[in-house]
A and B are shown apart, each in its own frame.
Chain A
Amino acid sequence: MPDATGLELIAQRVRESVGDDSVTDTIFYRGRATLDVAPQSVHDVIAYLRDDDQEPWDRLMSLHGVDYLPAEPRLGVHYELLSMERADRFNVRTRVGVEDPRLPTVVDVHPTANFQEREVYDMFGVVFEGHPDLRRILMPEDYEGYPQRRDFPMGGEPVIYTFNEPKLPRWYD
């Protein structure tokens, strides 16, 4: 991970190249450097960090969603970047609200994001615009709701056993 100064330098370079409003915050905590990015510019920032930065972050190792309930905006998407050359990691994060969350896809920059964006869509309902095949991946295709959101109840659906099957007629519909 870059140190706190390194993080500010990266943030400065991103602001100069991608746009002033692209970086919203920098967080350095417990040795983890996080660059907070505005939702609309996340694709450009990831592409810039991969191709044009003087210290490129060329690999996306993990893309995952998180629900920051009760903080606003609630949903967050993390991009865990890696530089194999320097054996170093860097974290880019973006925050979107729970109402109609939309983000540009990064599949064209990092093809590995394909399954992982589908998982975030499946679990949190974040729509990745421009994703080639945005469908649910782990839950059934006709499933309603986004189970990893914090306000989704645990055990929120009936589970069929032999003892309660008669009480749930036509549960298979």
Chain B
Amino acid sequence: MTEALDVPYRERERSVTMESIGEEHDELLTINIGPHHPATHGVLRLLTTLEGEIVRDVTPIIGYVHTGIEKSCEDQQYWKVIPFVERMDYLSYYFNAMAFCLAVESLLEEEVPARAQWLRVIHLELNRIASHLFWIATGSLDIGAITMLWWGCRDRDLALDLFEMSGGQRFHTRYFQVGGVIEDIPPGFEEMTRKFIKTMYTRIEQYLSLLDRNEIWLQRTKGTGIVPLETLLQLGVTGPLLRAAGHPWDLRKAMPHSGYENFDFTVPVGTVGDNYDRFRVRVEEMRQSLRIVEQALDGLPEGPYITANRKVALPPRHELATSMEALIHHFKLVTEGFRVPAGESYAAVESPRGELGCYVLADGSSKPARVHVRDPSFVNLQALPEMARGHLLADFITCVAMLDPILGGVDR
């Protein structure tokens, strides 16, 4: 008995697959995983061809939560598009709004004040932590670590509390506006955030002590889902998946926006590119995000939190009582919105899942003629068949978990 246990479980599993039983039993079985299945993280349908327990082929079928957000955006004024794009990738709403705002700002040639940029960085990185926390919570659930689900959701709630404090909402905060952010952070936000950072450093240690020394976790993740780096690059995969394979491509470092060049942080990369590396890269990214938030709080510059251009940004509330111009600007902005000179632009940010790009075509009116979001989940999903082919069905579920697709972003 003990000798049998010395054999790694994966090889023991192989001993009972169809291959070992014999030729006459070799048959392919096509099954649907999803669209309604908790392990597919949304409504993702995976048409899977199995040979015994080995995945031979996977075809992702998507579109079940296609809501036509891009079409709806064409009927909204620019500042009203922000709540729409936030609902695409519903776990990284700040990033969606950021990409859209950057694209519109580049068309308007609008300068964003330093304080607004710093506030944006704080919220982006808090959002990255919240998104990764939800990934670690649900991803661990797929592998059977139920404690991690409660821990991850519990700690994500702390980040959502911060969003509620600054923007009034826990999700889809509409906090980022073209030209800056909608409101300065309230008193007490900094203190709460510092408390959150302090808590999170220890919590991350706890996650690692729960998962990283867990034999089941290690066996399920190590050596599974490896895709060669060149294949990943050709498939356009970005974000933690690419970095886990050893390519240090991070838009925050490579093409910094919003003053990311002012912060000291490192880009974690993996060495093997398996699911374990993907897990470790994301956990380390959470630590680096905490460092960025800390630095941003320390060096938060004084000044306006939104551009002073009244043609783009709403005037402060107190001016409405005393200034006729402010009232006119307010009225024009709320009823008609601001006009953007005709042109097109593409802006990309490093979202928790990779490059999130936003293309905006302006025709000179106050509504965009086309908004397209290049969602990282949509593109990364193409790597799933490569990851899963030839692996056990159980490893395939791990691959989906570690791929971290958000179906709201895939289908838009």
Which residue numbers of A lie inside 8 Å of B, CB to CB?
29-32, 34, 59-62, 64-68, 78, 80, 84, 87, 89, 91, 110-112, 114-116, 119, 123, 136-140, 147-148, 150, 152, 154
Chain B residues, Cβ within 8 Å of A64: 359, 372, 374
Residues A111 and B235 in contact in the complex (CB < 8 Å), given A80-B374, A138-B411, A150-B369: yes
A64-B372, A66-B372 known; A112+B343 contact, CB < 8 A: no
CB distance from B264 to the nearest CB of A (A): 19
Asked if B71 contacts A154 (CB within 8 A), the reply is yes
Contact in complex: A138, B66 (CB < 8 Å):
yes
In the complex, what residues of A have CB within 8 A of residue B411's CB? 138
Residue B381 is within 8 A (CB to CB) of chain A in the complex: yes
Q: A60-B236, A61-B348 are in contact. List 15 more A-B contacts (CB 8 A).
A: A30-B107, A61-B238, A61-B374, A62-B357, A62-B372, A66-B361, A66-B372, A67-B370, A68-B361, A89-B255, A91-B346, A110-B236, A119-B378, A147-B71, A154-B75
Given known pairs A62-B357, A147-B68, the reply for A84 and B236 (CB within 8 Å) is: no
Residues of B within 8 A of A (CB): 62-63, 66, 68, 70-72, 74-75, 106-107, 109, 233-238, 249, 254-255, 343-346, 348, 355, 357, 359, 361, 369-370, 372, 374, 378-379, 381-382, 411-412
Please tell me if the beta carbons of A138 and B236 are within 8 angstroms of each other in the complex: no
Q: List 19 A-B contacts (CB under 8 A).
A: A29-B344, A31-B106, A65-B372, A66-B361, A67-B369, A68-B369, A78-B346, A78-B359, A84-B254, A110-B234, A110-B236, A111-B382, A112-B237, A112-B379, A115-B378, A116-B379, A119-B378, A139-B66, A150-B369
Number of A-B residue pairs having CB atoms within 8 Å of each other in the complex: 100
**B357 lies within 8 A of A61 (CB):** yes
- Chain B residue nearest to A149 (CB atoms) is B71
Majority SS at the chain B contact face: mixed
Minimum CB–CB distance from B127 to chain A (whole Å) comes to 22
Residue of B nearest to A116 (CB): B379
Instruction: Give complex CA distance A64, B255 in Å.
Output: 22
Report chain A residues within 8 Å CB of B74: 150, 154
Q: Taking the nearest CB of chain B, how far is it from the CB of A150, in angstroms? A: 7
Q: Determine the distance from Cα of A74 to Cα of B66 in the docked complex, in whole angstroms.
A: 25
Contact partners of B369 in chain A: CB under 8 A: 66-68, 150
> Which chain A residues lie closer than 8 Å to B344 at the CB level?
29, 32, 34, 66
